[in-house]
């Protein structure tokens, strides 16, 4: 069954007639990475690492993001499906896709609160008027209103805010770095603050934007082909991630502080504050957009009916605004580490099912030609849930949150690889026990 559930096709394929130009989606992608929290992340790396340590941590973390983004994004582009909807026919089934939709939606509500907190705190420090909670309420509701209108407004806000934000960043960098010897900063062998381990740094880079990688399908489904997705993810990841990160690292090393964003806001005053307004709108409308798609899939799986995405957006926006007022910003670093462990297994399982096992590829191809979705999907894949849970536990065990209190390898990568391996082994073992090449668990109607 298929059908347009609104302009954003939250429960349907995106038809070829609705696909968008390459540069339009690319700007949205760059805007999702070149943002306030990226400055904060880069400053944290610059405070705990040397320049070249921060560079390699960013490179390795970005490679993880690039691989995940392209693999998921290309599949979603081919099928015209959001991440939570794609997962129904890529290992997770109806109930599993509901769990993914819920997990991603809740994570993005957290990101909404984090971004909103950045904005509110910066606006209060830059203007000295109102208060941080009042600013959080103003921007939270403003972004919610904009996001209610869907994908087209993502493009409009990204086209305005992304260039302005990058210009403000360059201006602040030139001003703050005036008189500094860049060569000395780059060759320094001591970080500005207490030393951070490389695995922790890589996990922060990957974890900080792994949710953007996982939700790449929500925008890549509007692209015209997998080749466009490859260049979109490559340019977006390395331009948005590497450039902004390393600028922030240099500022942190020069100023010997991780509070780079506060200094930027003080320096640029009302102009900088107005640019941050656009940057926050640009980032948070993407967060709300993907969160509403996730909740749409979750509620559809539970109630077997369609829910208006606009009402979901209102609910998420209000809840996220309240979270930012309550101080979710204070848990920023821990939030990154958690995301870097819990979300990657989703990608590992989907990639293995879609590209390696190909259990539902034939049925997807037949229905794709008709512009429809398969009429049935698995209700629940227990192998998926076991692999996901075990992968998260391995990620936690090998992270600083585990019993050893230190990272073993790169926890984000550990959880992703373990989920892929366990899922592949589990499905192959299950199929071999039934003397089949591929097996499916009980199927139900996609929409009762």
135-149, 259-273, 286-300, 309-323: least confidently modelled range: 259-273
Output the pLDDT for position 6: 42
* pLDDT one-digit tens code per residue, 348-385: 999 999 999 999 999 999 999 888 889 898 999 999 99
* pLDDT one-digit tens code per residue, 55-77: 999 988 888 888 889 999 999 99
> Confidence class of residue 154 from pLDDT cuts 50, 70 and 90?
low
Q: Cβ of 141: how many Cβ atoms within 10 Å?
A: 13
Residue 445: strand pairing partners = 376
**Region 328-333: what's the mean pLDDT?**
62
**Region 105-134: what's the mean pLDDT?**
78
Where residue 190 falls (left for φ over 0; alpha for ψ -120 to 50; beta otherwise) is beta
Output the pLDDT for position 339: 67
Class of the 16-344 domain? mainly alpha
* pLDDT one-digit tens code per residue, 205-215: 877 677 778 88
Tell me the pLDDT of the chain averaged across its residues. Answer: 82
Domain boundaries, the chain: 16-344
């Amino acid at each position: 069954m298929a059908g347009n559930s609104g302009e954003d096709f939250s429960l349907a394929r995106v038809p070829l007639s609705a696909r968008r130009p390459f540069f339009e989606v690319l700007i949205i992608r760059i805007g999702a990475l070149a943002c306030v929290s990226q400055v904060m992340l880069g400053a944290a790396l610059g405070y705990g690492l040397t320049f070249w340590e921060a560079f390699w941590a960013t490179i390795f973390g970005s490679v993880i993001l690039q691989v995940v983004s392209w693999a998921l994004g290309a599949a979603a582009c081919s099928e015209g499906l959001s991440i939570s909807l794609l997962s129904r026919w890529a290992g997770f089934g109806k109930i599993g896709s509901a769990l993914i939709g819920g997990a991603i939606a809740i994570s993005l509500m957290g990101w909404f609160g984090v971004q909103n907190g950045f904005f509110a705190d910066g606006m209060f420090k830059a203007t000295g008027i109102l208060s941080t909670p009042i600013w959080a309420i103003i921007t939270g509701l403003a972004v919610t209103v904009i996001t209610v209108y869907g994908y087209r407004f993502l493009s409009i806000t990204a086209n305005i805010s992304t260039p302005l934000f990058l210009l403000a960043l360059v201006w602040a960098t030139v001003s703050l770095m005036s008189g500094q010897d860049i060569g000395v900063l780059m060759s320094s062998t001591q970080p500005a603050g207490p030393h951070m381990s490389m695995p922790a740094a890589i996990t922060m880079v990957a974890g900080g934007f792994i949710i953007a990688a996982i939700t790449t399908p929500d925008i890549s489904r509007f692209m015209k082909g997998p080749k466009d997705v490859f260049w979109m993810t490559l340019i977006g990841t390395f331009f948005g991630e590497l450039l902004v990160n390393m600028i922030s690292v240099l500022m942190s090393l020069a100023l010997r502080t991780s509070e780079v964003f506060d200094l930027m806001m003080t320096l640029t005053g009302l102009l900088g504050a107005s640019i941050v307004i656009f940057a926050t709108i640009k980032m948070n409308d993407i967060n709300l957009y993907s969160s509403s798609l996730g909740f749409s899939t979750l509620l559809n799986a539970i109630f077997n009916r369609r829910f208006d995405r606009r009402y979901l957006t209102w609910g998420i926006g209000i809840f996220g605004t309240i979270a930012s007022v309550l101080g979710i910003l204070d848990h920023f670093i821990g939030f990154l580490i958690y995301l870097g462990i819990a979300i990657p297994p989703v990608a590992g399982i989907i990639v293995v099912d879609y590209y390696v096992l190909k259990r539902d590829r034939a049925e997807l191809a037949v229905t794709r030609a008709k512009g429809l979705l398969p009429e049935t999907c698995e209700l629940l894949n227990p192998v998926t849930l076991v692999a996901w849970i075990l992968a998260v536990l391995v990620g936690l065990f090998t992270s600083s949150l585990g019993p050893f209190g230190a990272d073993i390898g790169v926890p984000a990568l550990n959880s992703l690889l373990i989920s892929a391996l366990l899922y592949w082994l589990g499905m192959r073992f299950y199929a071999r026990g039934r003397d089949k090449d591929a097996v499916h668990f009980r199927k139900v109607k996609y929409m009762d």
